[in-house]
Amino acid sequence: MKKALITGASSGIGSVFVRELAGQGYDVTCVARSEEKLQGLTKELGGSHRYIRADLTDANDLAAICQELSDSKYNLLVNNAGYGIYDHFGNIPLEKVHHLIRLNVSALVDLSHAFLKSASSGDALINVSSALSLLPYPGGAVYSATKAFVTNFTEALWYEYKDQGIYVMALLPGVTDTNFHHVAMAQRDYQAPSGPSYPPEVVVKEALAALQKRKSSTLISGPKYRFLTALATRLMSRAQMISMMGKGSAGL
């Protein structure tokens, strides 16, 4: 039986990955901070699926998950854990900025390294980035920058490992129907982002279809976002694109 480990597994895109992969016959290990949610999810799935409660910004917890990836043979790692902060950069306490970078960048790099060290032909790594990785986002400057790192890092890994038969993919969702933006806005008044939104089931369905084909290094999830990012990155100047993103920013 194939084995998959999913971080950020307790809700949103992560929990949909868990359910879909379990339905495809994977033995799934769920990783997240909320033990209560993880217990409910693995109980719902039944079978041999399991969970590990971990805060990936904690050095000891992160080391434990890296050790799990080194000690147990996994065929698929989905690095989904991550979050955003939307506000003027100067309003965000620096410790929160560092916490965001530890989860979105440092933890993802460590887990990718631990997985790929023991990966073999047929195995796969999915790093969940964001369509904002291609678009600088005033009001979400640090978040979009962390995701730009994830996309560039993952695309480079795709090239490094493709000849070994190991598939690496950057998944770039647009606005998704989860609690992501509520968390990103914290205690401030929540304003739903303008533009199209997709359910997490659509994001995961497209990702797993790409996983079967094992061709593209990058998937922008949602046809409308594929069109919008192509329009912004190819037909607009950088100044025009930044201005457009700033005017529509929920963080400002």
Tens-digit pLDDT profile for residues 70-84: 999 999 999 999 999
Rounded Cα gap, residues 232 and 241, in angstroms: 6
Sequence-distant (6+) residues with CB within 8 A of 44 are: none
Residue-level pLDDT at 181: 58
Phi, psi of 185 (to 5 degrees): -85, -10
Residue-level pLDDT at 84: 93
Instruction: Determine the CATH number of domain 3-247.
Output: 3.40.50.720
pLDDT band at 48 (very low <50, low <70, confident <90, very high): very high
Tens-digit pLDDT profile for residues 159-178: 999 999 999 999 999 887 77
Residue-level pLDDT at 87: 93
- Residue spans of the domains in the chain: they are 3-247
Tens-digit pLDDT profile for residues 196-238: 788 999 999 999 999 999 999 999 998 888 888 988 899 999 9
What is the chain's mean pLDDT, rounded?
Answer: 93
Tens-digit pLDDT profile for residues 8-35: 999 999 999 999 999 999 999 999 999 9
One-letter identity of residue 191: Q
Rounded Cα gap, residues 134 and 152, in angstroms: 10
Q: Which residues are catalytic?
A: 143
Residue-level pLDDT at 226: 86
Report helix angle 108-118 to 59-71, nearest 10: 20
- pLDDT at residue 189 is higher than 70: no
pLDDT band at 188 (very low <50, low <70, confident <90, very high): low
User: Where do runs of H (alpha helix) occur along 57-134?
Assistant: 59-71, 94-101, 108-118
